[in-house]
């Protein structure tokens, strides 16, 4: 039947894109719509001009009576400011609204491989993770046996203790006595008491290995994260993380949309949905004998109406009148052992000098001596890093926060994120309340990072070429009075709202994937139910479809290269 699809998905954010791709590949007909003229929605990769337009659209003071999407966006992104400058080569920038790290082992990487989306894009290994020290320098983060061995700042006895902890964290600690009863104690205390680690090393582990955000973050979730990252090290290289080219998440979302289209999905960008009516019984077969409860979706400037049985939407894309009957899919990790942060302060800045991470000096004085026949491969004193994470633990910056850590991601040309000679700096800090402007909160951190850049000329200033600051309001976690409905509940709700991904740098993509799988299963559950009530199929929900269809191994993949 014309214009009939199984599912209409609204919003091409990472979660929705993964879901659309999985549903398409599972054989369902999907129409995927985004009101923006680009893929990725709140995780999009934008050119510089697109980012400026994004900022201006959401910071304008006009009221948005007719545009519920923009209204929702304006309540999500607040206190936005940006520098007035315009830079050339706008299209060579890929700026991410949701900077993320991809752990080498985990849901997102598995889905990228299983779905085939990994072939569409490039990925770069994170080169360095550093932690800002109150002395104004960047210290190395000892995350592996090799790092611990080489580190000159840790005493011998502390090395032994640190190794003991790392071995513990990498193993099956659930039954070990150290963790007994300690699951909910603050992680920092756990490290200091159970492993006799000093304040400094405990802080480095908590904030730059476990990506904790405050001293009150609890032990078990932090340990689970550390173990995941320790197991990720070595798979593609020394680092546990990959950074996606062209801004990461936005490009990945686009990749999933592409596979959805290849599997038969319809894509519409840059059109608004003007109306959704229904669900009413509509014929879906030629002889009009089988009727299914369907929605009718009208798009602006689109000749046909779309009919569908299920609507999946992000919180901002959904039309408000559907909300009362909609089912919110609960997020995968509602609290991750952290305080219920309501806001996150963000900054996206462009700089023209690289940040210098101190050379990890070896235990012997051997720098400067050419030792390798392939010396072209490895400039021995390389300090200028293209892709790195810098962590500011609480109280590491005079004038900065004494309670919350700031995580900074730096990406450059090698990630296809900027033109030659430029780097992007992303800063983020979770907030319990919104009382100051994001610029006043984050600018000191940006300045501190800039003070570590390698100056290229005598009169170089410590100002970024461009910067935008804003606060993102986080959707509320479930509370006792407003619990999310249980997952296995009633399949009759035919509007599903996707949960937003985690905002923690190394968790964001993985959480989007886990959420997408939950949405996928709920969608199939509902579609089968809908078909069974219309008599067109038996309600057979016993068999669980696998998230991705099996892929054949490609024998041509095994070419070695020297």
Partner 1 sequence: MHGVKRVGQSKEALGAKKQREQAKIKDYLALTDDLLSRKKDKDWSKEAFDLTTRLLQVNPEFYTIWNYRRSIMLNGLFPPSSPEEINSLLASELSMTTAALKAHPKVYWIWNHRQWCLENVPEGPGQDGADFHGWRKANWDRELYVVEKMLDADARNFLAWNYRRYVLASMPIQRPKVSELTYTTRKIETNFSNFSAWHQRSKVYTSLWDSGSLDPIKCQEEEFELVRNAMYTDPNDQSVWMYHRWLVGSGKLYITVGALRQLNSTAL
The residues that touch partner 1, with contacts defined as CB under 8 A, are: 145-146, 148-150, 156-157, 159-160, 163, 362-364, 366, 369-374, 560, 562
Nearer to partner 1, 152 or 482 (CB): 152
Angle at 103 between CA 98 and CA 107, to 5 degrees: 90
The pairs formed by 186-194 with CB atoms below 8 angstroms and a separation of 24 or more are 186/215, 186/216, 186/217, 186/218, 186/219, 187/212, 187/217, 187/218, 187/219, 187/222, 187/223, 187/337, 188/212, 188/215, 190/219, 191/165
Nearer to partner 1, 144 or 307 (CB): 144
Nearer to partner 1, 164 or 305 (CB): 164
| Minimum distance of partner 1 from residue 197's CB (angstroms) | 14
Give how far the C-alpha of residue 359 lies from the chain's centroid of Cα atoms, to the nearest Å.
29
For 91, phi then psi, to 5°, come to -75, -10
| Minimum distance of partner 1 from residue 158's CB (angstroms) | 9
Nearer to partner 1, 62 or 365 (CB): 365
Distance CA 63, CA 70 (A): 9
Nearer to partner 1, 277 or 382 (CB): 382
CA distance from start to end of the chain: 55
Q: What is the DSSP string of 168-195?
A: HHHS-GGG-GGGTTTTTSBHHHHHHHHS
Distance CA 42, CA 367 (A): 45
Bridge partners of 8, per DSSP, are: 31, 311
Provide the sign of the torsion angle of the four alpha carbons 436, 439, 445, 448, taken in this order: negative
DSSP-derived 3-state class of residue 409: strand
Distance CA 388, CA 134 (A): 19
| Minimum distance of partner 1 from residue 393's CB (angstroms) | 24
**255-281: buried (b, 16+ CB within 10 Å) or exposed (e) per residue?**
bbbbbbbebebbbbeeebbeebebbee
| Minimum distance of partner 1 from residue 364's CB (angstroms) | 6
Nearer to partner 1, 287 or 370 (CB): 370
Distance CA 67, CA 424 (A): 32
| Minimum distance of partner 1 from residue 361's CB (angstroms) | 11
What would the two tokens of residue 296 be?
Answer: 């009718």
Q: For residue 314, what are the CA distances in angstroms to 58, 108, 311?
A: 18, 19, 10
Nearer to partner 1, 60 or 155 (CB): 155
Distance CA 195, CA 182 (A): 13
Nearer to partner 1, 373 or 553 (CB): 373
| Minimum distance of partner 1 from residue 141's CB (angstroms) | 16
| Minimum distance of partner 1 from residue 380's CB (angstroms) | 9
Peptide bond into 279 cis (omega under 30): yes
Nearer to partner 1, 154 or 385 (CB): 154
| Minimum distance of partner 1 from residue 144's CB (angstroms) | 10
Nearer to partner 1, 364 or 458 (CB): 364
Residues present in the chain in total: 562
| Minimum distance of partner 1 from residue 222's CB (angstroms) | 23
Provide the sign of the torsion angle of the four alpha carbons 108, 113, 117, 118, taken in this order: positive
| Minimum distance of partner 1 from residue 539's CB (angstroms) | 41
| Minimum distance of partner 1 from residue 466's CB (angstroms) | 39
Nearer to partner 1, 160 or 321 (CB): 160
CA atoms within 13 A on the CB side of 417: 32
């Amino acid at each position: 039947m014309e214009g009939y699809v199984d599912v209409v998905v609204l919003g091409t954010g990472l979660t929705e894109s993964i879901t659309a791709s999985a549903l398409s590949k599972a054989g369902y007909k999907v129409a995927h719509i985004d009101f923006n003229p680009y893929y990725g929605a709140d995780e999009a990769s934008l050119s510089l001009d697109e980012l400026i337009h994004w900022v201006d659209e959401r910071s304008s003071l006009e009221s948005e009576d007719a545009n519920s999407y923009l209204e929702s966006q304006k309540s999500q992104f607040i206190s936005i400011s940006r520098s007035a400058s315009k830079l050339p080569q706008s299209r060579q920038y890929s700026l991410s609204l949701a900077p993320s790290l991809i752990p080498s082992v985990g849901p997102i990487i598995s889905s990228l491989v299983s779905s085939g989306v990994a072939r569409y894009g490039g990925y770069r290994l994170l080169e360095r993770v550093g932690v800002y020290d109150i002395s104004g320098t960047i210290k190395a983060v000892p995350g592996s046996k090799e790092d611990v061995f080489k580190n000159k700042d840790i005493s011998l006895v502390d090395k032994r203790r640190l190794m003991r902890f790392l071995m513990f964290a990498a193993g099956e600690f659930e039954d070990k006595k150290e963790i007994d009863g300690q699951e909910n104690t603050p992680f920092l205390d756990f490290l200091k008491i159970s492993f006799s680690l000093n304040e400094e090393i405990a802080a480095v582990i908590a904030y730059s290995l476990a990506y904790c955000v405050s001293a009150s973050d609890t032990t078990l979730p932090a340990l689970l994260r550390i173990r995941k990252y320790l197991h990720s090290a070595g798979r593609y290289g020394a680092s546990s993380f990959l950074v996606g080219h062209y801004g990461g998440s936005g490009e990945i979302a686009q990749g999933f949309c592409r596979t959805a289209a290849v599997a038969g999905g319809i894509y519409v960008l840059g059109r608004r949905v003007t109306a959704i009516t229904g669900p009413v019984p509509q014929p879906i077969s030629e002889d009009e004998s089988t009727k299914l409860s369907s929605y009718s979706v009208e798009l602006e400037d689109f000749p046909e109406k779309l009919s569908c049985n299920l609507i999946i939407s992000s919180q901002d894309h959904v039309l408000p009148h559907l909300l009362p009957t909609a089912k919110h899919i609960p997020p995968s990790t509602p609290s991750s052992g952290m305080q219920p942060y309501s806001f996150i302060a963000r900054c996206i800045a462009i700089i023209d000098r690289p940040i210098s991470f101190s050379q990890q000096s070896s235990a012997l004085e051997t720098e400067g001596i050419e030792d390798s026949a392939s010396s072209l491969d490895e400039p021995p004193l390389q300090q200028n890093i293209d892709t790195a994470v810098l962590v500011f633990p609480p109280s590491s910056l005079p004038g900065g926060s004494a309670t919350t850590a700031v995580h900074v991601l730096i990406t450059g040309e090698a990630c296809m994120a900027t033109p030659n000679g430029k780097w992007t700096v992303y800063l983020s800090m979770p907030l319990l309340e919104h009382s100051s402007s994001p610029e006043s909160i984050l600018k000191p951190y940006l300045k501190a990072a800039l003070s570590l850049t390698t100056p290229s000329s005598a009169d170089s200033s410590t100002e970024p070429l461009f910067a935008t600051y804003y606060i993102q309001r986080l959707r509320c976690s479930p509370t006792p009075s407003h619990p999310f409905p249980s997952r296995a509940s009633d399949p009759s709700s035919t509007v599903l709202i996707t949960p937003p991904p985690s905002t923690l740098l190394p968790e964001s993509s993985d959480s989007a994937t886990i959420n997408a799988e939950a949405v996928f299963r709920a969608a199939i559950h509902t579609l089968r139910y809908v078909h069974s009530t219309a008599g067109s199929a038996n309600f057979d929900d016993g068999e669980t479809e696998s998230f991705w269809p099996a892929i054949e191994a490609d024998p041509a993949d095994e070419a070695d290269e020297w």
